[in-house]
């Protein structure tokens, strides 16, 4: 997610596609369809209103004669063989065979011998019936011409639309709006994002600065024979600001920016995606110099010819067209293709080779200074109280992405708004931080025994984090149900680690086993509440043995556990790279590490049993204990904290 406020996104320009004929083909197609609709509607309405059957009840001619003799006809109107009129009073009895109820108006068909019956006209005059005559709008010959030429006209209009292009999938053809690239175009404006709007990501901005310079002054590079990379791939976890970084690159260079998602190329019809790619690159060449940004390129750029549904399907044809278009750039065309993904491992090797996406920019989670900058960006429009310290928040949000930091500020503002505050206070940020890390509290009653079990379980985690060297300090302990957990023990890292040693990993395993060991020590039973602890610790122990070589019995050998999925473009069949005996040995080593961690946890909890009981009792009373409260109960840590780590 972008690390910026809403005002920094560039506005879309008026980039309506043109077919080279001085207009928008989509508008012309729409106009043609409107004309056809109006003509068809007019024809239907003419047929409807031209029928005399729409003027009251249809009665036999003989019944009209009877009513004329009874002097019950007020006025009539003749239109060829049709006669319509109105009764003076609606007849009490309907003619034989008439179904329904007679209305004030009536219509009938004159018999051929009565159409020019002077006697009938004389009777109408005697009864002083008002006689009207309407000339026929069209005669039989005209009606015949209408029924012949109207369908021919409709066919001619449809044929004209279809013949505008011999290729129905071309940009000006009948399906032009369907296969045209849906890329959104952004122009340089006052609100365009720049590198100043991208907090952190210092290394990534430095890598992209060369692209900006090339777009501004391409001759500086071309006169020395240098070639700028055609494609730049932004790789990083979700929410780290890859899209914002691409927009900022275009904003810095002041060039048009075409943005599209990889999934927008794909349609159910084979060939549509490739046509959209051609249309996108054609439009980009016309707007050169410019930037094309393909977000989530892994949706269309996965490995070809492997996995379920391989072969030449629509996705592969689209990818082939992208590869072909990137090879087709001429020397003078300053078009840069930026792409973003968080799944670089599933991309086709042809995309990553030199000449295509040959420059990879890593967009990782921000460090402390970067987090501070991101918090400042997102809190620019948020009124902060005097007690809010963004530096403290930046220091205590290790591992947060830009999107999570944006959510932190937003959740704090939402809480302050719900409580009708004028400013956002530090307590609101702490609430938002707990909400992100632990989830929202659940308002449901908990049985007394479960509450006791949860209190000692979480106290066991906290004690083993407190008494082991290298472990992060306890930030908060809670037995309030949150999310799917009945309790949470939250540690707060004080420094950012990029490499972890074996001793610290084993200490973490002991801490994970602390809840289960406390249950056994106090209640002499195990509960199902330790399921997540066991799963996470088992995965960690297996990686220690099979990936990191932290086992004397196995040694420094990596035994790859296949995690490739055919639905992500990988091979369906993967052979195991070790024997059954080795697999058994790995399982035994994992079990050994887990048993040692559990035994160590049980031993340490027995050693600090008094502090365990005191912390559990405080939890049962207060339900939530903050860092200072935990420190007051446990006291000084049993080692020199100045040498920790």
| Active site amino acids | 458
Q: Give 568's DSSP letter.
A: G
The sheet with strand 488-491 has its strands ordered as: 488-491, 474-478, 624-626
- Residue 168's Cα: distance from chain center in Å? 31
For the record, the structure tokens of 139 come out as 């005669």
Tokens 């943005």 sit on residue: 259
For the record, the structure tokens of 501 come out as 């040693």
Kindly tell me the sign of the dihedral angle through the C-alpha atoms of 349, 268, 230, 199. Answer: negative
For residues 181 and 277, give the distance between their C-alpha atoms in angstroms, rounded to a whole number: 7
DSSP helix/strand/coil, 203 = helix
Kindly tell me the sign of the dihedral angle through the C-alpha atoms of 498, 503, 507, 510. Answer: positive
For residues 168 and 270, give the distance between their C-alpha atoms in angstroms, rounded to a whole number: 13
DSSP helix/strand/coil, 135 = coil
Which pairs count as long-range contacts for 379-384, CB under 8 Å and 24+ apart, including other chains? Answer: 379/409, 380/5, 381/5, 382/409, 382/412, 382/413, 382/424, 383/422, 383/423, 383/424, 384/423, 384/424
For the record, the structure tokens of 277 come out as 């790619």
The sheet with strand 73-79 has its strands ordered as: 57-58, 105-109, 82-87, 73-79, 130-133
CB 275 within 8 A of CB 325: no
The residues, any chain, with a CB within 8 Å of residue 289's CB and separated by 6 or more, are 215, 218, 253, 255, 334, 335
CB 285 within 8 A of CB 181: no
CB 232 within 8 A of CB 246: no
Q: Where are the alpha helices (DSSP H) in 379-447?
A: 390-395, 402-418, 426-438
C-beta atoms surrounding 20 within 10 Å: 8
For residues 521 and 526, give the distance between their C-alpha atoms in angstroms, rounded to a whole number: 10
CB 409 within 8 A of CB 375: yes
- Residue 603's Cα: distance from chain center in Å? 50
For residues 421 and 512, give the distance between their C-alpha atoms in angstroms, rounded to a whole number: 40
For residue 160, give the nearest of 171, 149, 172, 148 by alpha carbon.
172
Distances (CA, A) of 633 to 1, 49, 517, 615, 628: 41, 92, 20, 7, 9
CB 560 within 8 A of CB 548: no
């Amino acid at each position: 997610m972008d690390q910026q406020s809403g005002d920094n996104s560039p506005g879309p320009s008026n980039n309506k596609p043109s077919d080279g004929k001085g207009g928008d083909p989509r508008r012309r197609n729409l106009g043609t369809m409107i004309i056809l609709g109006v003509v068809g509607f007019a024809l239907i309405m003419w047929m409807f209103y031209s029928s005399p059957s729409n003027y009251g009840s249809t009665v036999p001619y003989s019944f009209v004669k009877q009513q004329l003799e009874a002097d019950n006809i007020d006025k009539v109107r003749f239109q060829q063989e049709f006669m319509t009129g109105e009764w003076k009073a609606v007849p009490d009895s309907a003619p034989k065979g008439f179904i329904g109820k007679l209305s004030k108006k009536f219509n009938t068909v004159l018999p051929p011998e009565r159409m020019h019956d002077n006697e009938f006209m004389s009777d109408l005059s005697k009864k002083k019936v008002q006689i009207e005559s309407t000339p026929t709008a069209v005669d039989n010959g005209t009606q015949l011409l209408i029924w012949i030429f109207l369908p021919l006209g409709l066919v001619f209009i449809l044929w004209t639309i279809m013949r505008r292009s011999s290729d129905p999938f071309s940009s000006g053809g009948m399906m032009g709006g369907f296969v045209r690239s849906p890329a959104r175009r952004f122009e340089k404006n006052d609100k365009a994002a720049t590198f100043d709007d991208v907090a952190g990501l210092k290394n990534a901005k430095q890598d992209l600065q060369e692209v900006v310079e090339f777009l501004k002054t391409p001759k500086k590079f071309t006169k020395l024979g240098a070639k700028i990379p055609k494609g730049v791939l932004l790789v990083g976890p979700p929410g780290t600001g890859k899209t914002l970084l691409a927009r900022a690159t275009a904003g810095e260079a002041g060039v048009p920016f075409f943005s599209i998602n990889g999934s927008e190329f794909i349609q159910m019809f084979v060939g549509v995606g490739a046509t959209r790619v051609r249309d996108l690159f054609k439009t980009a060449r016309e707007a050169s110099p410019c930037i094309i940004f393909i977000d989530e390129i892994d949706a269309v750029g996965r490995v070809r010819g492997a996995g379920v549904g391989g072969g030449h399907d629509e996705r592969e044809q689209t990818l082939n067209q992208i590869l072909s278009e990137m090879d087709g750039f001429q020397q003078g065309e300053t078009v840069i293709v930026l792409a973003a993904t968080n799944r670089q491992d599933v991309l086709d090797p042809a995309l990553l080779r030199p000449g295509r996406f040959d420059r990879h920019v890593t967009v990782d989670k921000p460090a402390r200074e970067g987090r501070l900058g991101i918090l400042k960006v997102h809190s620019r429009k948020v009124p902060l109280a005097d007690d809010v310290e963004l530096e403290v928040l930046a220091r205590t949000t290790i591992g947060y992405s830009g999107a999570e930091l944006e959510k932190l500020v937003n959740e704090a503002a939402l809480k302050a708004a719900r409580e009708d505050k004028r400013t956002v206070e530090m307590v609101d940020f702490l609430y938002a931080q707990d909400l992100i890390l632990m989830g929202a509290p659940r308002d449901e009653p908990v049985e007394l025994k479960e509450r006791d079990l949860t209190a000692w379980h979480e106290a066991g985690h906290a004690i083993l984090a407190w008494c082991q060297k290298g472990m992060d300090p306890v930030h908060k302990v809670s037995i309030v149900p949150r999310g799917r957990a009945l309790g949470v023990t939250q540690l707060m890292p004080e420094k950012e680690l990029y490499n972890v040693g074996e001793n610290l990993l084993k200490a973490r395993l002991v801490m994970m086993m602390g809840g289960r060991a406390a249950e056994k020590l106090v209640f002499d039973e195990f509960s199902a509440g330790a399921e997540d602890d066991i799963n996470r610790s088992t995965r960690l122990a297996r990686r220690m043995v099979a990936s990191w070589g932290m086992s004397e019995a196995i040694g420094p050998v990596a035994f790859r556990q296949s995690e490739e999925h055919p639905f992500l473009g990988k091979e369906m069949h993967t052979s195991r790279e070790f024997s059954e005996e080795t697999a058994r040995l790995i399982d035994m080593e994992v079990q050994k590490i887990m048993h040692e961690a559990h035994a160590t946890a049980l031993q340490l909890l027995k050693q600090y049993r008094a502090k365990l009981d005191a912390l559990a009792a405080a939890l049962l009373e207060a339900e939530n204990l903050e860092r200072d409260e935990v420190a007051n109960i446990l006291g000084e840590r049993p080692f020199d904290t100045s040498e920790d780590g």
